[in-house]
Amino acid sequence: MKINNFIFWLLLLFLISTTNSFAKETKVNYRLKWLFNTSVAGDIYADAGGYFKDAGLDVDVREGSPEKNAINELELKRADFGVASADQVIRALDKGAKIFVIAQLFQINPMQWIYRRDKPEIKTLQDLRGRNIGITFGGNDETIMNTLLAKAGIKKKDVAITGVRFDFTPFFMRKVDVWPVYRNSQGVILKDRLAREGEDVYFFNPADFGVNFVANSVITSQAMLEKSPDIVEKFLKALLKGWEAAMDPANEVHTLEVVKKLDKGNNNLIRKKQLNATRNLIKPSASIKIGTINMEAWKQTEEMMLKEKQIKKPVNIYTHLIQIK
């Protein structure tokens, strides 16, 4: 009898302790916009560096792809947080999605197009005519290019648009002339590859032509904000701490090691160049806090999309931007 009692209390203690340990960390799913690479160094660092764990969160950081959409996953409750570009957010709001932006990662939009120097330089938007332009359908480059073409009065038949994905082969084989890149990730890779072949490149930057969309931002659902504001705050703080640490030059070695574990496709030198380029886009100056939401840039993005009829009605984007301090 005494032994039975002892076993019972031991079991109860064990159950309580395991329940407690499970209760310590809240499970959270975080869907990124693209594949694991240096461009998401802060997201990876926040996880690997233990920032999420310190905040009591068990975060599953999932890489993105063209087939995956963070906004869909938020609505279907498969993700609690996600990364999306401004055009994706605004388009979703136009269709009634209940999402909010809680941080803006890229202060400068990295979306550009790379092309070889043996082609004429694109000095005006009219120089896009007759080019074979690659776009990632569903990506912010598609929206940006549509805006550029509309701004220049260029019809779709005046250019050749090719849908592109992960594979650079069509660009290497010159089937596509103008290839979409994030300046800080694919841009670095392609420039390096072509340089080794003795080829030099231009970068076509939409911002030079007055098209300045906001890029990757952290989003969550209205339900998450209403029901679990504490988790939102904990998550964001941990995430931005992770980004701050990842962008700190003092942590460069550790950051590159952490990214290398997930980004197996590139070499150390490329990753280093990518990290330097990413730093300039995430934290262009020391005074800018990572994650700061540029309200004006968002409003501008909405206005451009409304003007180009990419959305049917204004979405009042500023009412969906939450700057958590």
Q: How far is the CB of 292 from another protein (least distance, A)?
A: 26
Q: How far is the CB of 173 from another protein (least distance, A)?
A: 10
What DSSP designation does 265 have? T
Q: Token pair of 107, please?
A: 């202060």
Nearer Cβ to another protein (223/324) = 223
* Alpha-carbon span 309 to 72, nearest angstrom: 22
Q: How far is the CB of 73 from another protein (least distance, A)?
A: 9
Q: Token pair of 51, please?
A: 């920032």
* Alpha-carbon span 16 to 124, nearest angstrom: 68
Q: Token pair of 30, please?
A: 């975080």
Nearer Cβ to another protein (98/272) = 98
Question: Hey, which residues does 101 pair with through a beta bridge?
Answer: 219, 321
Nearer Cβ to another protein (150/324) = 150
Q: How far is the CB of 96 from another protein (least distance, A)?
A: 4
Question: Hey, which residues does 182 pair with through a beta bridge?
Answer: 111
Q: How far is the CB of 79 from another protein (least distance, A)?
A: 13
Q: How far is CA 313 from the centre of its chain?
A: 25
Nearer Cβ to another protein (91/283) = 91
Binding site for another protein (CB under 8 A): 66-67, 69, 71-72, 75-76, 91-92, 95-98, 136-139, 142, 162-163
Q: How far is CA 240 from the centre of its chain?
A: 14
Nearer Cβ to another protein (2/309) = 309
Which residues are CB-neighbours of 228 under 8 A, at least 6 positions away? none
DSSP-assigned letters across all residues of 73-95:
HHHTTS-SEEEE-HHHHHHHHHT
